[in-house]
Amino acid sequence: MSGLSEPQTVRAPAEDTMFGPALRGWLAFMVLAIGWSVSRYYVGVANLEANGNPGWDTWLWWVPEIMVVVGILGLFILVVSLEASNHSRIANLANPTPFMRMSGEILPRLALVTALLIAAGLAMSFRAPPDDLQGQAARIMFIHVPAAWLSMACYTLTAISSAGYLIWRHPLADVSAKAAVPIGATFTLLALLTGSLWGKPMWGAYWVWDARLTSVLILFFLYLGLIALRQAIDDPGRAGRAAAILSLLGAVNIPIIKFSVNWWNTLHQPASVIRAGGPTIHPALLIPLLVMAFAFTLLFVALHMKAMRAEILRRRCEAMIAIHVRGGGEAANV
């Protein structure tokens, strides 16, 4: 073949290769693994009821633990390899171009580690023994508690990024704040939804006006306000600064709101993992919870990084369109 008549190949942009065959294969494997763990779990419960023994093969029992160890090792290797490469200093991350390059390298590996840990965490959550008092319903805690932690962590990150943007006017800080808000709102909604699903069998109602539920609901409204304020302003720079002011206003008020709502009503169980005198939760439930919390944190980091990349690309597109409109035909080279 001469090759001249071949149609010119159009290369997919680098962004698309991130969800390439490897990750798709991995996702399929993860779905199978979760399905397998769930089915094994139910077989085990049936066996346990029939002859007092779950009847699991011993080495299969330890698969999630092996996955956690592999995941953490992978994360460790990721961090070490970044430290070793020459363009990886944190200060470089403040510049969009090195950020795009670095996050492009990190993100696929981070996504793999996250998928591994979430798969392991879900398998461990299904494998954990049912709670003495709450039975199977307590299992929703493994989603609910990490989501609730992250709903607050996301707001903290938004507020820190906003302060950075207001003080140093650094565009990447604004990108970070903008990217974190919808993710935080989603985690908050997830915490509220899983909480009310848990509340129906436990408290007898999907929603009660308990202090913690109320303050998380108010946090959700603060997120909605941030999104609405950004949408109401066309100019991205002004929208970013207005949202930054509002998120700092919210950050100052959140402790006060939390205090006032606690004063108002308390029904939710008090904090049981991080408290003086050690956790009050049994290790059999605590370890899956911690694995899930770690996996969700990685998930947040990966989603945030991806959203920041998308936002940077969007701004570059807008800048290119602006140049094109202003510069007429010549700007086609840009």
Residues of this chain that bind another protein (CB under 8 A): 166, 218, 221-222, 224-225, 228-229, 232-233, 238, 241-242, 245-246, 248-250, 252-253, 256-257, 259-261, 263-264
In the complex with another protein, the residue whose CB is nearer, 76 or 264, is 264
Residue number with CB closer to another protein (138 or 173): 173
Residue indicated by tokens 């108010």: 218
Of 271, 288, 282, 269, nearest in space to 131 by CA:
282
Decide whether 142 or 220 has the Cβ nearer to another protein.
220
Least Cβ distance, residue 256 to another protein (angstroms):
5
Q: For the stretch 35-68, what's the b/e string if a residue is b when 16 or more beta carbons lie within 10 angstroms of its beta carbon?
A: eebeebbeebeeeeeeeeebebeeeeeebbeebb
Closer CB to another protein, 141 or 181, in the complex: 181
Cα separations in angstroms, 325 against 44, 68, 310, 333: 65, 52, 22, 13
For residue 76, what are the CA distances in angstroms to 69, 299, 301? 10, 16, 15
The set of long-range contacts for 229-235, using a CB threshold of 8 Å and a minimum separation of 24, is 230/178, 230/181
Residue 85 CB, nearest distance to another protein (Å)? Answer: 40
- Pick 18 or 239: Cβ nearer another protein: 239
Q: Which is nearer to another protein, 234 or 330 (CB)?
A: 234
- Yes or no: say if 185 and 193 are a contact pair by the CB < 8 Å rule: no
From CA 22, how far away is CA 20, in angstroms rounded? 6
Q: Are 257 and 218 in contact (CB under 8 A)?
A: yes
Cα(305)–Cα(209) distance, rounded to whole angstroms? 35
| C-beta contacts of 21-24 below 8 A and 24+ residues apart | 22/108, 22/112, 23/108, 23/111, 23/112, 23/115
Give the residue with the Cβ less far from another protein, 160 or 224: 224
